[in-house]
Structure 1
């Protein structure tokens, strides 16, 4: 069960992460140093004290819009998302329909959609389809069901902690949620979530709180099942990536709460890589395909580089595909908005095109790294495991993009 010490530890970790991000330079390069961003009010390459923070302002005429220094606010969100590409073929797990049948009711029970429209929206997300596209090579239906349920649970609760008008705008509630989840993940297989009053959070025991506690109980039961099949090393890896995820979610909540500030491009990358929960998903991929990288292999510099490039391809694609919907409701916590806000004279279409180039760069980088790593490990005793791992991350890249484009969760035109 989580304690005040757990809260203090999470607070310290998140504060340290936040301080590190705010110390980064506000300039950024369009991937690997080819595109330098300058302040629109100065020709100097040295940032001023405010440079990491770009503010959103409210205009009576145009509503919420990004305000760039020395330039008028954006006139609107009229832009086209370029065609996105992944060099790896997308496929679907042959037992998708079986997995979907085993997961659909569980997902609805956790989400408890309040009306028919909300239920339809959840079904439109097609989470079992996403996981069966991301892990078409899962070695066990049971583990694929576990992975689908866990990622669905993260999806559902992420909508609470990440939504700008809901939990994500409140650091205290975000911390409360993080402590509850980490309490379960760090505890014994039968661990239960602590009650809200243990965190001194002023919640009423409302239907919303009861729903949250039911969701946490579902997580505890699911995690108990998974731990029986997951190695201690893989279990620790999953918990560690979830800790990093919540560190980033808290920093994200801080930005959203404080006058809708936006971080610099580089700081946003660091936040997004962890807040997106892609790294925990990659650990679930290991679990589902039946591999368990040793620590030396997992920490190998080239494999880390590949993992980051694959992760960036996934979340940058998501930012592009979802940004029109987000900008339409005044949510600017996405890469196109941040690129646009950081440079004078750039249209929103220009910013979108730059981010699309980033996606293509990540795709090319993964293709190049894949060939290099395969050549380097050909004689290694871990060669088969490494090939399976990297190929599985390639499946995540192609599967995620295919899912984004074939489901109605986001408008893509």
Structure 2
């Protein structure tokens, strides 16, 4: 490998811009109670994976994520989904650590230590869903994600995907599509007719794509240090020869376009459904598409998941990242 190639993969530092989100993040006013209830459930149902440490879902602020993405949701319903979310994300991490147990989770033949947690979370959501259809859509969307995470293990063995191919994969693995159905659950409505509108489907894709950019930008340092190359930033660097700063700037430009597209689509939906039978409640649901984007963006600023144990957000939306050594090898075919 030449010096130029080495310089491409050993990057000292880079700058993160403020994410271009056209609506400010809001948080559910019941967040403190939601967080406390979620913690109690986690201690009761989720296995202790590292003795004497705070459970992952509490330490990485799962409760903050759902409280930010659903600022207008019913607090009980947000708590219900949080229990499921923490179990699912534990499973995501488990896919790398114990693939055989993860396969049981995917097939819903899971045995301890996760069977009690899944059973309790799904039963609660089933009993409280506004309709059977909403419950089934939540099940289907999260099951699709579990299968995608399982496939990602195979995809990652030969990650020679270009930027657009990686974006297509990340749409499956980012785990945001379920949130646009969970929005119905936490608002206690069945908005299936609006959700199936082609413009709403495009809005969901635009919002999920935006969050892919956010996630891949903020997680890049951690993923490099752990040798994880299944991200759009890594694809731009590995396949297209971008520096890390060029890759981030490319995603930022895409985010600007996605944010504008999402605003346009949601405005069309608001206008189209002015006389919807659910009245203002359907407009709250439509606004949730933007809230999910703004909330996910804010969470990435605050979570220790990508910034290390003990990390506290400094209140700034831009940051300078130092990476001593990024463990990203050259393209295997170069």
Give TM-score scaled by structure 1 length: 0.68
Unaligned runs of 5+ in 2: 308-318, 322-334
Q: Go from structure 1 to structure 2 and tell me whether the alpha carbon gap of 1:174 and 1:254 turns closer, same or farther (over 3 Å shift).
A: farther
Hey, what does 1:5 align to over in structure 2? none
Hey, what does 1:245 align to over in structure 2? 145
Q: Go from structure 1 to structure 2 and tell me whether the alpha carbon gap of 1:101 and 1:382 turns closer, same or farther (over 3 Å shift).
A: closer
Alignment of structure 1 residues 145-160 onto 2, 5 Å: 145-160=79-94
Deviations 1:41-81 (A, max 9, x none): xxxxxxxxxxxxxxxxxx7x99xxxxxxxx83533133222
Hey, what does 2:41 align to over in structure 1? 106
Structure with more relative contact order (C-alpha pairs < 8 Å, separation 6 or more):
2
RMSD: 2.4
Deviations 1:211-253 (A, max 9, x none): xx12222111221122111121011211221232133223211
- Given candidates 260, 266, 270, the residue that maps to 1:370 is 266
Question: Residue 72 of structure 1: SS of its match in structure 2?
Answer: helix
Hey, what does 2:170 align to over in structure 1? 272
Conserved? CA contact 1:251–1:271, under 8 Å? no
Hey, what does 1:72 align to over in structure 2? 5
Conserved? CA contact 2:92–2:149, under 8 Å? no
In terms of mean alpha carbon deviation, does 368-377 or 127-136 score higher? 368-377
- Given candidates 102, 106, 121, the residue that maps to 1:178 is 106
Alignment of structure 1 residues 111-122 onto 2, 5 Å: 111-116=47-52, 118-119=53-54, 122=57
Unaligned runs of 5+ in 1: 1-58, 63-70, 181-192, 196-212
Deviations 1:111-130 (A, max 9, x none): 414134x4276543111111
Conserved? CA contact 1:319–1:335, under 8 Å? yes
Hey, what does 1:16 align to over in structure 2? none
Hey, what does 1:234 align to over in structure 2? 134
Hey, what does 1:96 align to over in structure 2? 31
Hey, what does 2:312 align to over in structure 1? none
Hey, what does 2:124 align to over in structure 1? 225
- Given candidates 185, 204, 210, the residue that maps to 1:313 is 210
Alignment of structure 1 residues 9-24 onto 2, 5 Å: none
Conserved? CA contact 2:217–2:248, under 8 Å? yes
CA distance in 2, matches of 1:379, 1:289: 19
1:263 aligns with 2:161: yes
Question: Residue 254 of structure 1: SS of its match in structure 2?
Answer: helix
Deviations 1:95-121 (A, max 9, x none): 1111111111322441414134x4276
Would you say how many aligned residue pairs link Structure 1 and Structure 2?
305
Alignment of structure 1 residues 159-174 onto 2, 5 Å: 159-161=93-95, 163=96, 166-167=97-98, 174=102
Alignment of structure 1 residues 123-138 onto 2, 5 Å: 123-138=58-73
